[in-house]
Amino acid sequence: MKKVEKADAEKYFKLRTIMIFSFILIALLVSFGVVTFAEFFSQFTFMGAPLHYYMGSQGAIVVFIVLLFLNAIISDRLDAKFGVDNATNERIVGGQSMDQ
Amino acid sequence: MDTQTLVSVGMILVTFVIYVGIAIYTRSKETAEFYVASRGIPPFWNGMAIGADWMSAASFIGMAGTVMVMGYDGLPYIMGWTGGYLFLTFLLAPQLRKYGRFTVPEFIGDRFNSDVARVIGALATVIISFTYLVGQLSGSGVVIGRLFAIPTWAGVLLGVGIIAIYATLGGMKGVTWTQVAQYLILITAYVVPIVFMSLQVTGNPLPWLTYGNIVDEIGAIDREIGLTEYFAPFSESTQSQFLALMFTLMIGTSALPHVIVRFYTVTTMKAARWSGAWALLFIGILYLSAPAYAAFSRFILMTQVAGQPMGNLPSWVDRWVDTGLLSVADTDGDGILDWEEIAVAEDMVVMATPEIADLGMFVIGLVAAGSMAAALSTAGGLLITISSSIAHDFYYRILRPDASDKKRLNAGRIAIFIATIVAGLLALDPPGVITQIVAWAFAIAGGTFFPVLFLGVWWKRMTTQGAIAGMLVGLATTLSYIFLALGGFTIFGIEDTGAGVFGVTINFLTCIIVSLSTTTPSQEKQDEVVDLRYPEQMTYKDGEVWIKEEDYKS
């Protein structure tokens, strides 16, 4: 066991928090945001359909999927940057006694 | 039996043989296999299993029809049932995985160090999952009944028998790999007909790119005959109901015990994040296709059926009129069938598409097998969840903490078997409209669990009393609002299906107020919560973070 610098540990948590907050904010804007101003967005057209309809039936879902993959990829990079190795994580989990 | 029925029955039987075969091959021999598949499912396959677990008979058969009938106001289902995966994957799943238990009630009981909280959690889990299960079983009964022209009860019994066999045998491990097979069957069955329909209507095989124009054309036809445009916002419901329903479905999705437990089947927090991403991609394929089904079906009904002389309707119209799902009546007696004279049941849209697009009997059989896969896979996941609440949380954690592995496994199997039979009997005579009951399950899940899980994972000041009060008050608020709304009392025009807004808010407030007015938790408990912010390799202790490195150097 090695001690992680306090500043590093706090930075890790802060970066993750910022990322998750921004992703949730984007997700809320494309879903609840667009619905709240549906009348306004209905004057635009995207891929043949009125924009508010497009966002509800396709746009928001595509954004959700992209955000989830970004979260997985960025989190992996962040872990690597802070010296976390997934193989070690798996070994640690494999030895957990609470699974018995 | 005609040839079509034989082909459909044959295809469904082949898939049943596959499911039971997988369950026998992956038979669980120990408790960790039975409840969490030994935590060894790779994220990609877990994503597919989550997809099959998630997409029920209602998603497969009903959702496209709902969007077709409600237009824009049917879209909270599409956004709510997908958006929940963000809250789940960002805020709950990896942290719950690191905490490392078998079930949601077990997390609540251990995190708050209280058997009272554990029992409330287990009871709520059983109520939510059972409500949902009854809907699945009656859904599958309706499918079988309609396809084979046998009574619905016989269909229910057939479905119940199959599920009981493979869930009892395989446990979570068997159910997971069966669900992977079921996902592949149901998504093929959903996408094939809509690709051909898109090709016929627009000349392009990718419905996701083309149906926007069709939506626009439907709007133009609506304007012509003097109706509200298909895509006009808030014509079928109010804006506040739209937002409340979407919120309820999103938060409910992220707090459903049978979905959360699927994240316990992977190895690490990293695997939990990837499972969430793959799951929503696989689920998204169906949710992105549903509005295309809605648009093409409505377009065909408006252009090829409406406006035709009564004697010149396409041949599939008669067959669906016979099932009672479609009605065409020339009420004004002018010999022409007007759009207003057509009434379509929501459940018809997906099932009828292969016939409307004239795709032949194998595709019709495939859609039948796909809808059975959707109902059975969800029912399998629900049964494991009910069984683990009873056999693990009640029997093992509270009644018999000294029970041997073999005894616990048997208790799990017996619980599944009894739950299947009880749910099957209830499904013979469901206590209400299926889609409505399912929406209540989401409101109850969100209102009871979401704030307690979220604060339990992120807020170290959260206390046992706060958790117990939050769950009880949240559950009571949600149930009261559902009953009040059914009785005609609503706030801001929000109906019973949007009850989650009130349950979740009041649950959050209760948790925070009660926690702050009770004693601060022990330092050890607080450290346990801060520890969840870091990956497995890092440990939080006494204000410092430690990283394990011994394996890493060698």
Residue B460 has φ and ψ, to the nearest 5°, of: -75, -15
Contacts of A83 in chain B (CB under 8 A): 547, 549
Residues B286 and B191: their CA atoms lie apart, in Å, by: 8
Residues B50 and B176: their CA atoms lie apart, in Å, by: 8
Residue B327 has φ and ψ, to the nearest 5°, of: -130, 135
Is residue B257 a part of any domain in this protein?
yes
Is ipTM strictly over 0.85? Answer: yes
Is residue B310 a part of any domain in this protein?
no
Contacts of B545 in chain A (CB under 8 A): 3-4, 6, 8-9
Q: Give the residue on A whose Cα is nearest the Cα of B89.
A: A68
Q: Which residues contact B326 (CB under 8 A, 6 or more apart)?
A: B317, B320, B342, B343, B344, B345, B348, B352
Residues A64 and B142: their CA atoms lie apart, in Å, by: 33
Distance from the Cα of B251 to chain A's closest Cα (Å) equals: 12
Query: What is the pTM for the complete model shown?
Result: 0.90
Is residue B66 a part of any domain in this protein?
yes
Residues B437 and B135: their CA atoms lie apart, in Å, by: 7
Q: Roughly how many angstroms between the first and final C-alpha of chain B, as a whole number?
A: 68
Is residue B462 a part of any domain in this protein?
yes
Q: Which residues contact B413 (CB under 8 A, 6 or more apart)?
A: B168, B387
Contacts of A33 in chain B (CB under 8 A): none
Is residue B309 a part of any domain in this protein?
no
Is residue B548 a part of any domain in this protein?
no
Contacts of B234 in chain A (CB under 8 A): 38
| CA distances from residue B358 to B54, B201, B209, B354, B462 in whole angstroms, order as listed | 30, 13, 22, 6, 59
Tokens of B502: 């009130």
Whether A68 and B216 lie within 8 Å, measured CB to CB = no
Tokens of B302: 């408006």
Q: Nearest Cβ partner of A88 from B232, B243, B537? A: B537
Residues B404 and B407: their CA atoms lie apart, in Å, by: 5
Tokens of B228: 């509200």
Is residue B418 a part of any domain in this protein?
yes
Q: Do B525 and B114 form a contact (C-beta atoms < 8 A)?
A: no
Quick one: which of B151, B132, B200 has its CA closest to B377?
B132
Contacts of A58 in chain B (CB under 8 A): 208, 288, 291
pLDDT tens string A41-80? 888 888 888 899 999 999 999 999 999 999 999 999 998 8
Distance from the Cα of B445 to chain A's closest Cα (Å) equals: 21
Q: Nearest Cβ partner of A57 from B75, B273, B536? A: B75
CATH number of B186's domain: 1.20.1730.10
Q: Give the residue on B whose Cα is nearest the Cα of A9.
A: B545
Domain count, chain B: 1
pLDDT in tens, chain B (554 residues): 678 788 888 888 888 888 888 888 877 777 777 777 767 788 899 899 999 989 887 788 888 888 888 888 989 999 999 999 999 999 999 898 888 888 899 999 899 989 999 999 999 999 899 888 887 777 777 677 666 666 767 777 777 787 777 777 777 778 888 889 999 999 999 999 999 988 888 888 888 888 888 888 888 888 888 788 888 888 778 889 899 999 999 999 999 999 998 888 888 888 899 999 999 999 999 999 999 998 998 898 888 888 888 888 888 888 788 777 788 888 888 888 888 888 887 777 888 888 888 888 888 888 888 988 888 888 888 888 888 888 888 888 888 888 788 888 888 888 888 888 888 888 777 666 666 777 888 999 999 999 999 999 999 999 999 999 999 999 999 999 988 888 888 888 888 888 899 999 999 999 999 999 998 888 888 888 888 888 888 888 877 888 876 554 43
> By residue range, what is the domain housing residue B79?
3-304+318-536
- Show which of residues 9-48 on chain A sit within 8 Å of chain B, judged by CB atoms: 9, 12-13, 16, 20, 23-24, 27, 31-32, 35-36, 38-39, 42, 45-48
Residues B150 and B136: their CA atoms lie apart, in Å, by: 18
Sign of the CA dihedral B515, B253, B32, B533? negative
Whether B79 and A56 lie within 8 Å, measured CB to CB = yes
Is residue B554 a part of any domain in this protein?
no
Instruction: Report the residue count for chain A.
Output: 100
Residues B308 and B219: their CA atoms lie apart, in Å, by: 20
